[in-house]
Amino acid sequence: LVFSVFLSIVISAFVAISSNLFILALSVPDQYTVAVIDMFPYISVLIAISLVQGGIKAVLTGMGLYQYTNYWYTFARIAQLLLGVLLLYKGYEIWSLLFSTILFHLLLLFLYSYKLLLLKEFNLNHSSFKLSFLYGTLNFSSKIAFSRIFQKISIDEMFKVIFSKYFGLELLAAYEVAFRSIGLIRNVANNMMKPVINMVNDLANQGGYQGIKNFIHDIHKKYTRIWMLFFIMSFFIFEYAINLWLPFQDNSDITSYFKILLVGYVFNLYAIPYYYVIAGWGDANSIIKSVLIACLSLYLIIFIGSLLGTDNDLWLIKSYALMLVINAFYFKYIYNKKINQG
């Protein structure tokens, strides 16, 4: 949590004083320069709020309070959507997205902080409170928070910078639509799997690794296959849906990006239960390694593509999808390794 606060201050300050550098790096057209400069103070605040609330959420997650974080996340998303649509209707255009995103993170920051303060008051007055347990929880949570922050900056955001630098903001917008469309589906499946952490702890205490193995097999049989079928259906339905949503423009780039990313996210979806089993074992180091492997593999694939002369926009999207596949196999490998050792 302390690391998240410190990192938010450093990054926000850097963004606030480096607007011209980012405009050059992103190749922002001249007609949008003034608007982008006006947004940078808000973006720096958004980054700070996002990182701090992410750190607090990681602490709550480490305590197993998914019933709170999941419900509040859904509530904040609904509030973000309503405000975004309202501001867009009122003519705020791109500002509607910025202000609705700030509202989303502010709501989560308030709700997470309030719950954490209540827990602190309860725990400190509780006779069985142990500093060693608190240290272990915060240590695990801080590592999870670090992995997510590192992934957000070094993979998600840096990938967008590279993409916009070489292919422009118009294609970046197409990528964002495709990426967020898949993300909406993926986030629902991800939130369904979060309680696996607590279940893994219970099963480990009751029946060891065999109980966990049977549990994961059951999850893949009942849930993952259903979601994969839904993803595959999306592959064929998305083109019709996007043309219905944006009928007055060429959506071929969005559709192509969506289908390529969807292949990678099918593997990513398959690996979600393994991720939460590893988290349930408290193996935060393996999760950090997975982010490092994902980062290195992504930029290595992009570099190889540039050497082979295939450094176009589709190759960049394929690189991201292939990175997701590699990461999925890594979690499967770690899971099998621990099960066999157990």
Q: Which residues contact 284 (CB under 8 A, 6 or more apart)?
A: 139, 140, 143, 144, 147
The per-residue pLDDT for 134 is: 56
pLDDT at position 7, please? 56
pLDDT(239) > 70: yes
What is the token pair recorded at 255? 């559709």
**Which of 6-20, 115-129, 202-216, 225-239 is predicted most confidently?**
225-239
pLDDT computed for residue 229 by the predictor: 77
What is the residue type of 102? I
Residue 177 in this model has a pLDDT that exceeds 80: yes
The predicted structure's pLDDT at residue 329: 93
In whole angstroms, give the CA distance from residue 237 to residue 256: 13
Q: Is the pLDDT of residue 320 over 90?
A: yes
Q: What is the pLDDT of residues 274-295, one digit of tens each?
A: 887 887 777 888 888 999 999 9
The predicted pLDDT at position 260 comes to 92
Tokens of 90: 């009122």
> Furthest-apart CA pair in the chain: how many Å?
66
Q: According to the model, what pLDDT value does residue 235 have?
A: 79
For residue range 13-38, list pLDDT tens digits in order.
Answer: 665 555 566 666 555 666 666 766 77
pLDDT of 270 > 50? The answer is yes
Q: How many CA atoms lie within 13 A of 233 on its CB side?
A: 7
In the numeric block, the tokens 């007609």 are attached to 31
Task: Give the pair of three-digit tokens for residue 188.
Answer: 């629902």
**93-112 exposure pattern, b = at least 16 Cβ within 10 A, e = fewer:** eebbebbbbbbbbbbbbebb
Q: What is the dihedral of CA 190, 195, 197, 200, to 10 degrees?
A: -120
Query: What share of the chain in percent tops pLDDT 70?
Result: 73
Higher confidence at residue 40 or residue 338? 338
Q: What is the mean pLDDT of residues 249-268?
A: 87
The pLDDT value given to residue 321: 93
Least confident range of 7-11, 51-55, 61-65: 7-11
Local structure of 72: helix, strand or coil:
helix
Give the pLDDT mean for 216-244. Answer: 76
What CA–CA distances, in Å, run from 192 to 121, 186, 271? 30, 10, 13
**pTM of the predicted model, to two decimals?**
0.65
Mean pLDDT of the chain: 76
Position 204 scores a pLDDT of: 59
Q: Which residue, chain included where needed, has tokens 């990461």?
A: 327
Taking Cα atoms as reference points, which of 93, 254, 264 lies closest to residue 186?
Answer: 264
Residues 55-64 have a mean pLDDT of 72
- pLDDT in the model for residue 323: 94
Which of 305, 298, 25, 37 lies closest to 165 in space, CA to CA? Answer: 25
Q: In this predicted structure, what is the pLDDT of residue 327? A: 93
**What does the pLDDT average to over 110-134?**
63
* pLDDT confidence band for 336 (50 / 70 / 90): confident
pLDDT above 90 covers what percent of the chain?
A: 8
The string of DSSP letters for 218-267 reads HHIIIIIHHHHHHHHHHHHHHHHHHHHHSTTS--HHHHHHHHHHHHHHHH
Higher per-residue pLDDT: 163 or 133:
163
Summarize the confidence of residues 43-51 as an average pLDDT: 76
Where residue 282 falls (left for φ over 0; alpha for ψ -120 to 50; beta otherwise) is left
